[in-house]
Each structure stands twice: as C-alpha cells, then as structure tokens.
Amino acid sequence: MKVKLDVLFGLLLSGLYIATAVWVHRQYKPPAVENSGFHLMMGTVVQVTAVADNPAAARRAIQAAFDVLQNVQRTMNDRDPNSELSQINQTAFEQEVQVSPDLFAVLCAARQYSQLTNGAFDSTVGPLVALWRRMETTGIEPTPEEIQEARRRVGYEKVILNPTQQTVRFEAEGMRLDLGGIAKGYAVDAAIGAMKELGIRGGMVDVGGNIRCFGTPPPPAKHWTIGLQNPRAEALSAKIRLDELAVATSGDYRRFVEKGGKRFSHILNPATGESAAELISVTILAPSAMEADALSTAVSVLGREKGLALIESLPEVEAIVIAADKPEELIFTSGAAAYLLK
C-alpha cells in the first residue's frame, strides 16, 4: 500500500510538472487570432473572434460557433415557414406539439423572464409584431380595434408548457410566438459554449449587439472591451470592459418606423399594444447573453423608472440607458460604473 501511495504521489507530481510546463509555454507563445468578418444572419450582423494556440484551432472554433448559430436560426426563425417555431405557431392551438430540447429550453426561459418582468417581456407578442411589420412595409398604422383584437391573442400565461412530455400548447386561437427578443442571446451563449468546449484560449460572439466573450482577448489587449455609442451624441460614448460578462443593446435607434412625427419602435408593450418609446437605447450587462437580451427588451418596455428599479433588484445585472427626452445623457445603474473604462 505504501509503495502504491508513493507511485501515486510521484505521478501527481509529474502531472503537476507537465501542467506547469504547458502553462508556461502557453504564456509565452503568442496566440493565433482569427476573425470571421461580418455575416448577415438572424436578421442582423454576426461576427465571431477566436483566440487559440494556432490558426487552424481558431478557425475550427469559429466554424463550431457558426454551426450553432445556423442551427438556432433554422429552429427559431418565425419568418421561415419551415422552422420548428413556425410549425408550433401553426398547430399548437389544435394539438399539443412536441418541441426539440433547444427550443423547449428557450420557451421555458422566456416564460421565466415574463414572470420576472411582470409581462413586459412576452414572446407571445407575435400578433402585435405582425401589425408593426405591416406598418413597416405599407405605412398603415394599426387601428385601436386591431390592437385590441391582437392583444386577445397575446399572453405568456396562455402558453402551456409540459416539461415531462416536452410539449407546448396554445390556449387561444391565432397565438404567435416571436423569439426575436431572446433567441439571439440564447444563440450567443450556445456558440460560446461550443467554442469553450474546443478548449481554445478565448473568444467573442457578437450577434447584432448581443455579445459575450470568454478567456484571453486578442493581444495586446488585457480585457475584452466594447464601445457603447450614444446615438444622439457621439462624444458621449462609453467603453465597457466585458471579460466573462454578456451585453445586449435594445431599442435600437435604427429599427423604428416614423409616421406623422411619431416614432414606432419594434419593441412593443404587451399590456397596451403600443410601441415602447420612453428609452431610445437600453444596454444590459448580465452573466448570460440570453438574460441580457431578454432584459434589454423588458427594460425598453418598462421605461426608465420601473426598468432601472428592476435591474437594481438583480444583483448580477447592470444597465446603461438613454431616455428619449434626454438623449445626451447616459443613465447608469449603481454597479455599472465598475465596468466602464476611461
């Protein structure tokens, strides 16, 4: 027994020695950095960066990330009639529909964010989004009657999820799930997971401003950072240190329709059917990209007071918002300053 212990100890020591040697070697060998460039996907612009021991490993990681993103896009795009989400939208009122594990996880998360935000985040806004899209293409503003009618088909509590069977069912006819406020964040987390699994040194995934990083940034940088633009005052932009944190920006000032001097955002208040107007930009810092994505949409709906109060109540989440009536000012939650770089 004694001999065996000695051998074990020796093995452990040599293991430690090898690990240290590998670590020292990694510290001094400059990493390979590969960037995917910009790709149009999920209705937005996607960019992936990988930091690895060699270019081939970095490229493999980028490919793995894109495979994941492609898969999420195929499953959760409500504009594609063949996506799994569209199949659900077409049949879940008539019968219970079996859901793939990825999509079921997103539907469960969406319901949690609806509960957390008192319904400000609600992925059943599909019927309202349809009215908004009609306005975007034809300029025809929704009438109050149309909004009323659409709202009868909106409501997360009318989506019945069965975790043991992994099925979904709608309680009202004509309901439409729209995962536009959460799927990009979910996709970023999943892509980061795939890159980490390959054991590379670091990486970043950006799906239209839903961003998450991990590990070592491209040298000589010490941190992963992103620039936060103030849409109305270029000089008042901020730089944020991300590292293991995720970020999402909503209320994108580029996505709105203007009519009669009024702006219509693509983020809709499920309670009124109106578009969210109080905040022109909402940036959320959170441990996961999915959380940042959903909460950025929710805070856009909740507005300055209620939105910031919600974020202050969540210990690991911070927000930076810009109000429509004070576009030159960046408003921070109390912990956000810790992530700002001068």
Could you report how far apart the first and last alpha carbons of the chain are, in Å? 60
- Of 112, 132, 134, 133, nearest to 123 by C-alpha is 112
Q: Is the Cβ of residue 86 or residue 297 nearer to Mg ion in the bound state?
A: 297
CA dihedral 266, 269, 275, 279 (to 10 degrees): -90
306 touching ligand ADP, by CB under 6 A: no
Query: Which residues lie across from 45 on neighbouring strands?
Result: 40
297 touching Mg ion, by CB under 5 A: yes
291 touching Mg ion, by CB under 5 A: no
270 touching ligand ADP, by CB under 6 A: yes
Q: Are 62 and 204 in contact (CB under 8 A)?
A: no
User: Of these partners, Mg ion, ligand ADP, none, which one is at the site of residue 180 (CB under 5 to 8 Å by kind)?
Assistant: ligand ADP
189 touching ligand ADP, by CB under 6 A: no
List 153, 296, 310, 322, residue binding ligand ADP (CB under 6 A): 296
Binding part of the chain for ligand ADP, among 84-92, 95-103, 215-223, 264-272 by CB under 6 A, reads: 264-272
Helix axes 144-151, 126-138, angle to 10 degrees: 150
- Give the whole-angstrom CA distance, residue 112 versus residue 118: 10
CB < 8 Å & 24+ apart, contacts of 53-60: 53/26, 53/29, 53/200, 53/201, 57/32, 57/198, 57/200, 58/32, 58/33, 58/34, 58/200, 59/34, 60/198
Number of residues engaging Mg ion in binding (CB under 5 A) = 5
Binding mask 124-143 for ligand ADP (x = CB under 6 A): -x---x--------------
In the range 169-198, which residues lie near Mg ion by CB under 5 A? 181
H or E element: which one contains 97? strand 97-98
Q: Is the Cβ of residue 48 or residue 128 nearer to ligand ADP in the bound state?
A: 128
226 touching ligand ADP, by CB under 6 A: no
Q: Is the Cβ of residue 51 or residue 302 nearer to ligand ADP in the bound state?
A: 302
Least distance from ligand ADP to the Cβ atom of residue 135, Å: 13
Q: Is the dihedral of CA 293, 294, 297, 298 positive or negative?
A: negative
- Give the whole-angstrom CA distance, residue 128 versus residue 135: 11
69 touching ligand ADP, by CB under 6 A: no
- Where does this chain bind Mg ion (CB under 5 A)? 181, 250, 293, 296-297
Interface positions with ligand ADP (CB under 6 A): 121-123, 125, 129, 178, 180-181, 208, 250, 252, 255, 266-268, 270, 293, 296-297, 300-301
